[in-house]
């Protein structure tokens, strides 16, 4: 967006101030809150590149773990001791926020999880993960968008649409339901009514671009700093360039910070998708410290920013971090890991019934590994996502099995993920 | 006419349209006949200072070594922390020697430390690429360079070695072959240090090789998998995990000589027989006898001419130049030409120009961010001289940072990736910034005629004509669908 900044402070008031036909958000009715005052939100973080689940949440109680994961295996001893979750699993020490939330029963782990995809191509794997289809080749719409679309007409969550964070829209939230786009950026915004004129031209000549630009402008207005009575076309003083992309620790934190403000707004989107890159750790992956730990620290920072930024809305929020597949159980020839299968799903948020590692642990003996190389999947990522959508937004198992995750009737929603 | 300049080219500069008007196809094909058109000539004094990848990597290795020494010295001298940071490091001296085109600030202004050598090299290479885009006639061959560079992408986010050599990689492994043979490009790409580093092959050691037995290191599958999945055969074309592992073994030993130069000139591509997995190997059902580095060359040659490769490349080219979902007949024709011509990329390019589908399919794709910025510069005038900073910032903001794709599959080639909400908002900001920079805008209506011409819709004409200022008129032109779509 044009104004920000290290510390986005989006404000509803700035949106209302702008007025005019340009900013459709200004016309959305403020909804009446439900009687129980519950106002659920779902944030999906896609970790692109395949997260090593065994280094994020290590099965330190498994006798074969240390041997397979070698120098990068997590351990409860030493200067960078992993943070124990229960007697068997420990989280990477780069994630103290997640460990604290777990202790407070606001975070959970599903281990040995995978989608239905069993090959090892990142790009097909990501397409399957994000499209929600049973196999690759579907790149038009994502399951999160279809979930919004499947809500009853007039449903508050559906009306408010989704939020896509980053310069391009992650597949998981692409589709027919309305999606706002936002990314931390800084360029001086145009003066005068250029935006309005371009929109007008698009409405006559290129409706697709009209919709896209309109949403981009809307999100931008929403994320503006408090500038009551001020000139909203002027950048905030000290506007900063983004601190690295969404593959850097600072970038993840910054993206979460801005997204939290948009999602926390009373009439902001209730679902959001973020994609963080860089998890493809073939070389010198590191364990408790190093490359992967730095990225995990960024993810942990994102959790923290969401917790802070969502304020009282945190209690109704579920965040789920998912990745296309896991990595080899045994480290490769360059102290990294190659493409694998089973990995973790990380859950956080006040809405999560936390404090649990949910796993039907398959074991790490050679015969127990998938194709004798990867952590065998015993949970389906789709079951987790279905459970969250059912618990947060009341989507039925039938709709989830048909429209949201096509051909997935055999994958039952995982229940009671939400408190 | 918009097809020639938008779909195939980099956008019209004022005056270009007249030259193309009578025969747009011939105008594009003329580029294909120019020898060395894709090269960035080091005879040109502007580019003479661009080092090859080997000296570039050497400079980076030297700077890395020096940074390490500095850190150690800093750690040792914690008692006097101010001293180390006040000294100019030899790394900075190196950067001044290697890139005279971008002189460092004089030593009398020590307030701002010199950028690292890798950043200096990156910016010089970026400037050369932007200049080339600005100077190109139609820009069709440049578009082919970007297509292949994205197909065989490396990312500067990997490490300093790739940051220092990504531009040289494109000049050495992509540009010389965009009108040559696919197999030659493939062979050069896969043994280039930037690619070996990016996809970790320099770390891959044959488990039964001498080095593998001595050290606790072994295979890394990354390069083998991505060659088959992304560079050649395509995913789902029938190879198995066993093929990936076998190909990884075949590729062991393809590496880069280190700083000490034990294997050859530091920073150059070498074959390390000690790391190569000995013995015959089976790949895609064929046995490749032990032959040192020749084993991988034989395998790559076969893969380059595999029918799945022809199909994969044909699909990607048609998607890039025609439509997100390209007409199957167009893909089939390209695949046939690829197979018949032994992967002759000039023949493929000519086939694209001759295809009726390329001229009849509506312009529904979006200009990629780099193409958009190139088109802005070509329409409105070059950016700040010798400073690629603004263009690079624009690319970052649009989500296509130069030589830094999110993964080895490169940047998206689908319209909806670039017609995103955030992307369009940023394009608006950029159009405005570009329009404001033009010193003498002139009449935006004339500009519209020069850049878009008769293809402009009445609505676009009206919007530009009614603009409240020349700057706004130009910005509207730069945002018009006829300027965004291709």
What secondary structure does DSSP assign to A244-311, as a single string? S-TTSHHHHHHHHHHHHHHHHSTTS-SEEEEEE------S---SSSSHHHHHHHHHHHHHHHHHHHHG
CB contact under 8 A, A169 and B484: no
Closest Cβ–Cβ partner in B244, B396, B481 for A205? B481
Q: Does the pLDDT of residue A228 top 50, yes or no?
A: no
Closest Cβ–Cβ partner in A1, A242, A282 for B220? A282
B367 vs A: CB within 8 A: no
Nearest CA in chain A to B205: A333
Instruction: Give me the mean pLDDT over the B347-366 stretch.
Output: 96
Q: How confident is the model at residue B392 (pLDDT cuts 50, 70, 90)?
A: very high
CB contact under 8 A, A216 and B203: no
Name the minimum distance, in Å, from the CA of B165 to any CA of chain A.
19
Q: Does the pLDDT of residue A27 top 90, yes or no?
A: no
* Residue of B398, B403, B422 to mutate, interface with A, max A Cβ within 10 Å: B422
How is residue B256 annotated by DSSP?
A: E
Chain A residues 356-395 with CB within 8 Å of chain B: 371
Chain B partners of A124 at a C-beta cutoff of 8 Å? Answer: 235-236
The residue whose two tokens read 């799903």 is: A345
Q: How confident is the model at residue A2 (pLDDT cuts 50, 70, 90)?
A: very low
Domain ranges of chain B: 2-32+364-484, 34-196, 307-360
Kindly calculate the radius of gyration of chain B based on its CA atoms and give it in whole angstroms. 24
**B245-282: b (≥16 Cβ within 10 Å) or e:** bbbbbbbbbbbbbeeeeebbebbbbbbbbbbbbeeebe
Closest Cβ–Cβ partner in B218, B457, B484 for A332? B218
In tens, the pLDDT along A342-396 reads 999 999 999 999 999 999 999 999 999 999 999 999 999 999 999 999 999 999 9
The residue whose two tokens read 């020639």 is: B4
Name the minimum distance, in Å, from the CA of A417 to any CA of chain B.
32
Q: Does the pLDDT of residue A97 top 70, yes or no?
A: yes
Q: How confident is the model at residue B97 (pLDDT cuts 50, 70, 90)?
A: very low
Closest Cβ–Cβ partner in A194, A212, A219 for B472? A194
Q: Does the pLDDT of residue A80 top 90, yes or no?
A: yes
Domain housing A335: 40-168+251-404
Q: How confident is the model at residue B322 (pLDDT cuts 50, 70, 90)?
A: very high
Q: How confident is the model at residue B111 (pLDDT cuts 50, 70, 90)?
A: low
Residue A238 to residue A228: CA distance in whole angstroms: 18
Q: What is the dihedral of CA B103, B109, B112, B117, to 10 degrees?
A: 30
Nearest CA in chain A to B423: A167
Q: How many domains does chain A have?
A: 1
Residue B7: predicted pLDDT: 96
Q: What is the dihedral of CA B125, B129, B132, B136, to 10 degrees?
A: 170
Residue B262: predicted pLDDT: 93
CB contact under 8 A, A187 and B430: yes
Q: Does the pLDDT of residue A222 top 50, yes or no?
A: yes
Q: Does the pLDDT of residue B383 top 80, yes or no?
A: no
Average pLDDT of chain A to the nearest whole number = 85
Instruction: Give me the mean pLDDT over the B121-126 stretch.
Output: 95
In tens, the pLDDT along B434-458 reads 988 887 778 889 999 999 999 999 9
- Which residues pair with residue A346 across a beta bridge? A109, A321
Q: Does the pLDDT of residue B253 top 90, yes or no?
A: yes
* Residue of B243, B398, B421 to mutate, interface with A, max A Cβ within 10 Å: B421
CB contact under 8 A, A197 and B205: no
**Is A161 inside a domain boundary?**
yes
B259 vs A: CB within 8 A: no
Residue A223: predicted pLDDT: 62
CB contact under 8 A, B463 and A2: no
B229 vs A: CB within 8 A: yes
The total of other beta-carbon atoms located within 10 Å of residue B294's CB is 12
Q: Does the pLDDT of residue A241 top 80, yes or no?
A: no
The residue whose two tokens read 């080749």 is: A137
**Is A208 inside a domain boundary?**
no
3-state secondary structure of A320: strand
| More confident: A190 or A118 | A118
In this prediction the pTM is 0.74
Q: What is the ipTM of this complex?
A: 0.84
Under 8 Å between Cβ of B477 and B452: yes
CB contact under 8 A, A206 and B467: no
Closest Cβ–Cβ partner in A122, A217, A332 for B407? A122
Under 8 Å between Cβ of A405 and A388: no
Determine what percent of chain B is predicted with pLDDT higher than 90: 77
Could you give the C-alpha distances from A276 to A245, A246, A349, B225, B311, in angstroms and in order? 9, 5, 19, 22, 32
CB contact under 8 A, A181 and B425: yes
B173 vs A: CB within 8 A: no
Instruction: Give me the mean pLDDT over the B108-117 stretch.
Output: 69
Nearest to A68 by CA among A362, A371, A331: A331
Name the minimum distance, in Å, from the CA of A185 to any CA of chain B.
6
Residue B80: predicted pLDDT: 55
B363 vs A: CB within 8 A: no
Please report which residue ranges of A113-248 form alpha helices under DSSP H. 122-131, 143-150, 156-160, 194-205, 207-222
Instruction: Give me the mean pLDDT over the B16-20 stretch.
Output: 90
Residue B91: predicted pLDDT: 42
Residue A154: predicted pLDDT: 84
Could you give the C-alpha distances from B216 to A69, A282, B185, B263, B336, in angstroms and in order? 13, 16, 34, 20, 47
CB contact under 8 A, B480 and A201: yes
Q: How confident is the model at residue A34 (pLDDT cuts 50, 70, 90)?
A: very low
CB contact under 8 A, B409 and A123: yes
**Is A375 inside a domain boundary?**
yes
CB contact under 8 A, B479 and A166: no
CB contact under 8 A, A167 and B397: yes
Closest Cβ–Cβ partner in A48, A169, A190 for B429? A190
Closest Cβ–Cβ partner in A166, A195, A209 for B484? A209
Q: How confident is the model at residue B92 (pLDDT cuts 50, 70, 90)?
A: very low
Query: Which residues does A22 contact at the CB level (< 8 Å), separation at least 6?
Result: A195, A196, A199, A214, A217
Average pLDDT of chain B to the nearest whole number = 90
B207 vs A: CB within 8 A: yes
Chain A residues 267-306 with CB within 8 Å of chain B: 277-278, 280, 282-283
Q: Positive or negative, the Cα torsion across B301, B307, B310, B316?
A: negative
B475 vs A: CB within 8 A: yes
Backbone phi and psi for residue B153, each to the nearest 5 degrees, phi listed first: -75, 150
- Residue B214: Cβ-neighbour burial (10 angstroms; 0-12, 13-18, 19+): exposed
Q: Does the pLDDT of residue A169 top 90, yes or no?
A: no
Residue B386 to residue B100: CA distance in whole angstroms: 12
A217 vs B: CB within 8 A: yes
Q: Does the pLDDT of residue A63 top 70, yes or no?
A: yes
Query: Which residues does A36 contact at the CB level (< 8 Å), separation at least 6?
Result: none
CB contact under 8 A, A2 and B429: yes
**Is A218 inside a domain boundary?**
no
Residue A217: predicted pLDDT: 87
Name the minimum distance, in Å, from the CA of B424 to any CA of chain A.
5
In tens, the pLDDT along B276-286 reads 999 999 999 99
Residue B179: predicted pLDDT: 98
Residue A24: predicted pLDDT: 35
A249 vs B: CB within 8 A: no
* Residue of A338, A341, A369, A373 to mutate, interface with B, max B Cβ within 10 Å: A338
A1 vs B: CB within 8 A: yes
CB contact under 8 A, A209 and B419: yes
In tens, the pLDDT along B35-50 reads 899 999 888 887 888 9
Q: How confident is the model at residue A225 (pLDDT cuts 50, 70, 90)?
A: very low
Structure tokens at A124: 């097909």
Under 8 Å between Cβ of A224 and B436: no
* Residue of A217, A324, A334, A370 to mutate, interface with B, max B Cβ within 10 Å: A334
List the single range of A241-245, A274-278, B158-162, B358-362 with lowest mean pLDDT: A241-245
Residue B112: predicted pLDDT: 64
């Amino acid at each position: 967006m044009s104004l920000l900044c290290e510390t986005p402070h989006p404000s509803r008031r700035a949106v209302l101030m702008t007025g005019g036909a340009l900013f459709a958000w200004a016309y959305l009715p403020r909804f009446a809150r439900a009687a129980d005052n519950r106002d659920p939100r779902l944030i999906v973080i896609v970790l692109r590149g395949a997260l090593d689940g065994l280094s994020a949440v290590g099965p330190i109680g498994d006798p074969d773990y240390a041997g397979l994961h070698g120098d990068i295996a997590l351990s409860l001893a030493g200067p960078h001791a992993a943070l124990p979750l229960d007697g068997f699993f420990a989280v990477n020490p780069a994630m103290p926020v997640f460990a604290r939330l777990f202790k407070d029963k606001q975070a959970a782990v599903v281990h040995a999880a995978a989608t239905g995809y069993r090959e090892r191509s990142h790009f097909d794997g990501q397409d399957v993960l994000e499209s929600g289809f049973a196999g690759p080749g579907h790149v038009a719409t994502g399951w999160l968008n279809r979930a919004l679309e499947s809500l009853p007409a007039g449903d508050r969550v559906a009306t408010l649409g989704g939020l896509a964070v980053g310069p391009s829209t992650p597949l998981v939230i692409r589709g027919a339901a309305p999606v706002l786009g936002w990314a931390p950026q800084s360029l001086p915004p145009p003066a005068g009514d250029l935006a309005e004129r371009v929109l007008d031209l698009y409405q006559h000549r290129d409706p697709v671009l009209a919709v896209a630009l309109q949403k981009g402008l809307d999100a931008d207005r929403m994320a503006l700093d408090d500038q009551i009575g001020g000139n909203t076309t002027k950048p905030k003083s000290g506007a900063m360039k983004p601190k690295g992309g969404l593959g850097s620790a600072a970038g993840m934190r910054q993206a979460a910070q801005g997204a939290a403000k948009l999602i926390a707004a009373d009439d902001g989107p209730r679902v959001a998708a973020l994609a963080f890159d860089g998890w493809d750790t073939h070389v010198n992956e590191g364990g408790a410290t190093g490359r992967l730990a730095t990225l995990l620290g960024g993810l942990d920072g994102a959790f923290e920013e969401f917790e802070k930024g969502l304020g009282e809305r945190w209690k109704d929020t579920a965040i789920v971090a998912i990745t296309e597949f896991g990595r080899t159980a045994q480290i490769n020839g360059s102290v990294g890991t190659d493409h694998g299968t089973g990995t973790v799903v990380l859950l956080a948020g006040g809405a999560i019934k936390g404090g649990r590692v949910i796993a039907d642990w398959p074991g790490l003996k050679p015969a127990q590994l998938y194709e004798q190389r990867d952590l065998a999947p015993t949970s389906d990522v789709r079951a987790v996502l279905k459970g969250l959508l059912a618990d947060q937004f009341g989507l039925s198992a039938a709709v989830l099995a048909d429209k949201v995750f096509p051909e997935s009737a055999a994958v039952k929603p995982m229940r009671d993920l939400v408190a | 006419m918009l097809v020639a300049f938008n779909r195939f080219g980099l956008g019209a500069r004022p005056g270009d349209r007249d030259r193309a008007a009578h025969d747009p196809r011939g105008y594009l094909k003329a580029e294909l006949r120019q020898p060395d058109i894709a090269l960035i000539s080091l005879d040109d004094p502007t580019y003479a200072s661009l080092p090859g990848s080997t000296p570039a990597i050497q400079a980076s290795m030297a700077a890395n070594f020096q940074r390490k020494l500095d850190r150690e010295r800093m750690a040792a001298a914690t008692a006097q922390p101010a001293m180390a940071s006040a000294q100019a490091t030899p790394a900075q001296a190196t950067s001044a020697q290697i890139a005279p085109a971008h002189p460092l600030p004089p030593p009398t202004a020590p307030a701002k430390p010199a950028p690292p050598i890798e950043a200096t090299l990156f910016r010089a290479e970026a400037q050369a690429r932007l200049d080339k885009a600005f100077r190109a006639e139609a820009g069709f061959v440049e578009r082919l360079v970007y297509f292949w560079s994205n197909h065989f992408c490396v990312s500067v986010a990997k490490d300093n070695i790739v940051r220092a050599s990504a531009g040289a990689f494109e000049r050495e492994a992509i540009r010389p072959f965009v009108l040559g043979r696919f197999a030659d490009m493939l062979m050069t790409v896969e043994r280039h240090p930037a690619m070996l580093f990016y996809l970790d092959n320099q770390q891959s050691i044959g488990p039964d090789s001498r080095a593998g037995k001595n050290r606790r290191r072994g295979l890394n599958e990354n390069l083998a998998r991505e060659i088959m999945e992304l560079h050649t055969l395509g995913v789902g074309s029938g190879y198995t995990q066993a093929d990936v592992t076998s190909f990884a073994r075949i590729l062991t030993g393809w590496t880069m000589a280190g700083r000490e130069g034990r294997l050859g000139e530091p920073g150059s591509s070498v074959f390390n027989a000690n790391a190569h997995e000995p013995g015959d190997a089976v790949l895609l059902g064929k046995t490749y006898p032990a032959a040192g580095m020749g084993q991988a060359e034989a395998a790559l040659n076969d893969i380059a001419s595999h029918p799945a490769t022809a199909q994969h490349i044909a699909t990607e080219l048609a998607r890039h130049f025609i439509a997100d979902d390209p007409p199957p007949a167009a893909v089939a024709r390209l695949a046939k030409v690829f197979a018949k011509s032994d992967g002759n990329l000039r023949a493929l390019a000519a086939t694209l120009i001759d295809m009726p589908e390329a001229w009849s399919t509506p312009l529904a794709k979006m200009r990629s961010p780099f193409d958009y910025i190139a088109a802005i510069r070509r329409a409105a005038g070059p950016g700040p001289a010798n400073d690629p900073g603004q263009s690079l910032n624009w690319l970052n903001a649009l989500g296509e940072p130069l030589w830094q794709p999110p993964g080895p599959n490169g940047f998206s080639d689908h319209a909806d990736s670039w017609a995103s909400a955030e992307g369009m908002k940023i394009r608006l900001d950029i159009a405005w910034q570009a329009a404001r920079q033009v010193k003498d805008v002139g009449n935006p209506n004339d500009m519209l005629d020069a850049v878009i011409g008769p293809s402009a819709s009445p609505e676009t004409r009206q919007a530009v004509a009614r603009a409240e200022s020349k700057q706004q008129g130009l910005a509207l032109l730069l945002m018009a669908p006829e300027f965004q779509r291709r």
